[in-house]
Structure 1
Amino acid sequence: MRVTDATERLRPKSVRAKIVALLMLPIVSLMALWGFAAVTTASNIGGTERVKDVNAELLAPVDEFITALQTERTAATRHAATRDTDGLDALKAAVRTSDTAATAFRDGADAATADAELLDSGLPARIDRLEADARGLTALRARTDVKDAPQTAFTAYSTVIEHAFAVTGALTGENGTNAASEARVVLELARAREAVAQEQALLAAGSGAGKLTTDQYSLFVGAVATQRELLKPAVADLKSAHRAAYDTVLRSASYAGLAAGEDRVRGAGPNTFLSTGFLRDWDQGADLVLKGLAEAESGAGTGATAKANPFGWGTLGASGIAVILGLVGLLLSLLVSVGVGRGLIVELLDLRNDALEVAGRRLPRAMRRLHAGQGVDIDAEAPMRRLVGDELAQVGTALTAVQRAALKAASERAELLSGISGVYVSLARRSQVLLHRQLDLLHQLEQRPRDPAEVQELYQIDYLATRMRRHSESLLILSGIAPGRGWRDPIPLADVLRAAVAEIEQPGRVQIWPLPRVSLNGGAVADVIHLLSELVENAASFSPPSAHVRLRAARLRDGLLIEIEDSGFGMNEEALAEANRKIQSEDVDLLDAKQIGLFVVNRIAARQGLRVELRSSPSGGATAAVLIRENLIRDDMPVHDATLADGQVADGQDGGQNGGGDGGRALAPAAALIPQQQG
């Protein structure tokens, strides 16, 4: 009994006392230190050995194979372009070198087959593909005898080289030692060297005609851009011991001549004659640059790795000493700290489980009920606890208080949104009654004989009233209520698009391209018109006043695709992502006053099952794509004349573009379609 009482008295009661007890003999930190030192020491030794094996068996042969293929590619393209004896001799020599390198690679791949999948799960497939390429070199070389042989040879060899780089890329994770530079940096430098080799091969392909074709010129410019983008920045990331070799190449006259020649070819453009002397001098300089880059690359990567000592101080370092000292301290600390640590862990786990229960289940469940319009009893969901016990118990009480505050705020916000929604509905209903009466009156005035100028002014007022009606309907839509307009019969797509265009301020700026002969079900017409008018108006607002908005439609297997493309300044990726989030989000924040039209589109798309997405346009603006489901459309539906307004085209096809040629009056402005009012 006395022992139990003494243990209870010695046991810390507060978090601070427990932390002090743990800091006296920091068992956890010491275990982590010792474990890290032990694992690091063992892994460094084994890792260095494995890296050396990988370097010798796979990486070095692959690098040599890449270099040989680059040389053969240049020789093959030059011979295919010129067909001379010297080119044939150079090609034969390059072929022999490539065959030797391919044999060395296959031998290394066979030796490393057992470890390949351990290094990278995708490595065996990449090695198999490269081995297949190596076996198919004979067939690849035969292609140089066909038409367009230079371009064919360049593409074929480049594909094999890219497959080799794929193997090298999978090995970079295992190609790191203290002696070598960062493997990914060396890989970037290898790709920069490949870009120079591609430039050389492309100029060799154009040596026969003395000029580059358009395709060859484009590839050349791309290779120059890649080389300049990768080479110097990657050199800056190398270790200082390896950077000197690259700096020597970059400061050499050969590289300066190479860069000057690149600028000359880029400035000359495609199909411009290049002298034989220039091509010969540039090719000689490129050979020197490639040789220097290859030697520097070997010193920074494979050469440094091969010299690494797995048992040297650079591998073991201070971690070996830490292993011994950490083991002694660990054994001493373990005996004292187990009892204190166990009690603290139990209490912390209980607190963590309570917090996870609140954050992961109880609070989200209550929030979902509030969003659904159901009431929540805060006292039942999060009963308030008294501040008793130690600091951990007080933390639990504080978490409960936070939960209650969150529930209270969400409940008040839900009540506010409900009130706002009711105000929206009331205002929208009243405005709709007045606007329908105004539109009927304007329609009657437009039918009377008047001066054309007066009629045009009436049309302008009509447009404004139509837009006001759409804004009133937007309030209803945001409140979760369907607008009053509706149709019973299917409506041709052309009439639907004209009706959407008629509800914007400047319909003459909209061009409607030829449309497929389809119709929309009457129940979806009002929502589709409203959604398209919001998107068309947005496109017109963010385009120059003189620019057109293009409206296209295409029949797809899954439905009907409608695209609205503007000619504005476009949107950056962040703005596009934010706009698409508002369009596709399940929760609509009515208190967000920015871009209300996107929330209207969100509600309509959710109700009708439409898919809406904003994306960049090739012309520099933005494109809104709307996919209408298959069950909302019908093919080749006859047009119902009763649904058409006065003066509309009855066949749903205008054979051209809408929005120009008649002063912008493609439709009667008050309504392109006359719906059956519903309430």
Structure 2
Amino acid sequence: MQGRFKRDGSASAEPEPRGGTDRGSSPQHAQNPGPAEVGGSGEHSARAGAKPKAPATTTDATSTGTPSYGSRLALRNWRISTRLVSLLALPVVAATSLGALRINESMDNIQQLDNMRLLTEMTKQATELAAALQKERDESAGPLAHGALANDYEVKSVRDATDVAKKHFLEGTQQVDDATAKGQLAGVHDSLVGVVSELYKLNQIRSDAYNDPQNATQTVDAYHRLVTELLALSQDMAEATSNPEMIQRTRALAAFSSAKEYASVQRAIIAAALPTQPKVFGTLSKNDQQYALSAQESQESENSSFKNIYGAGSTELLLPIEGDNPTIKSADQYAKRVLSNPEGLKTQNKRSYKDWLDDDSSKIDQMSKIETTLLSEMEQKARELRNESQSEAIISGVLILLVLGVSLVGAFVVARSMIRSLRRLQDTATRVASDRLPELVKQLSESDPQDVDTSVESVGVHSRDEIGQVAAAFDDVHREAVRLAAEQALLRGNVNAMFTNLSRRSQGLIQRQLSLISELESREADPDQLSSLFKLDHLATRMRRNGENLLVLAGEEPGRRWTRPVPLVDVLRAAASEVEQYERIELSSVPGTEVAGRVVNDLVHLLAELLENATSFSS
């Protein structure tokens, strides 16, 4: 529908009070307009014409006299910087002088012992990998020297075990990398890099292992270089610690592990020379025999070095391999006779490499147990040293805490006077900001400012230091804020009263004007004159809308109200009729919904503003 929203758009919630046509600005003229709609100028005129009064404020809530600050030498009148220096000087000097060196030394010891624990673990993993390489070399020598393939069970099982030990070792090197990133264990890290690079040659060593049965030395020596690199790590790790006992234990382990490696070399050389079945004599080349004989001499030398380094207790520790074990004795004698003569194998009873491995492995297994014992002793000693260092650090810390405690007792007396004033200032400021000032502003906005008590309570901190000056400044700010809030509340009330008075006056005149226009429209028969009256009616309707907007700004309720539901189409027509370009507005497909009477006026105002914007700024 386009065009005028007049007589055909009325919504009769109740009979028309004036007997004229609907004004089109609303679904229905106010049912009971009352004095607020028609007159509305009595009380508001009085308020608008009244002379504003400044609220009565109390500038000093406690005392008008000068507060007593006391002596300038009083503790509460010290400057904050002086108090802080007094508070911090004694504990800082005491803690620095007594504890700095002790704490640093303890922390360094703990860090070094942590590194020692890490190095011990790396030594253990390197030793385990070396043992796996030895077992792989020795137990694969017989099968590979007699034509077995790499996927043979006897060869593959020991190589798989070596791969597992290698994986664990490489994972352990990551912890050393992390420590190196922190500036520690740089020397050990360099050694590990060299060892890891050598381990990558293992696949090549395996592919060429025992290809020449008459030259087992080539394969054995290749494995020997890998094992030697791993065992040398313990020497590098010994240099990374400054504890003499740990250095001694590490050197002893390195010597014994070397002796075990030379014993393993002999086992591998002889195993490669012996046949698969004890039906024929084995063949030991001169080169292999000389290499194994040199290993035998090196084993004895390393055993002597171990005894000298380990000291007392070495005899008891080596008893399982140097005692009366018949199997070990028989294997040692067999190896000496075989290696002492180029034709030594032919002077002994026929035996297979499996028989030799079973006999000689008894000695290697016992040496592995001794090696494990040495590693356990190293780990136990590292734990003991770390526990001792922790205990020393705890004792030092307790002593420092005691000194600090005594110092803090003296500092507490100095800090107490400052803390009291600060806490009082903080509590008062919090209460003012959170409770007092918002509540006072609320009272000033809801009631006459002249009826509100605007007195200000002082913080109550009276001293010559910075805290007392801040408290005095806060009191001044509080008073000024209350004064300004009271003045603003009074000003807002006067402005609202003026808006309300002007709106009520204009509403009464506009209502009378609309009544007169409606009466003229009902008696007019000339179409041109009637059209002019409709335009005049529309202008008056828009004026009434603007007047009601003033009431909204002033926080007042418009005079028109409805008590019955109003059809939605009438609400839309009423809103459209209050727009300047109402001819451009078209209603279509409006649902037959009714709007509650108490929200009709607000909804008409909202829709009218939206339609006004749409018609003004959209083509």
TM-score range, shorter chain: 0.3 to 0.5
Tell me the TM-score normalized by structure 1: 0.38
> If each structure's helix is expressed as a fraction of its own residues, which one has the higher value?
2
Comparing both chains, which one has the higher relative contact order based on Cα–Cα distances under 8 Å and sequence gaps of 6 or more?
2
Larger radius of gyration: 2
Tell me the TM-score normalized by structure 2: 0.42
> If each structure's strand is expressed as a fraction of its own residues, which one has the higher value?
1
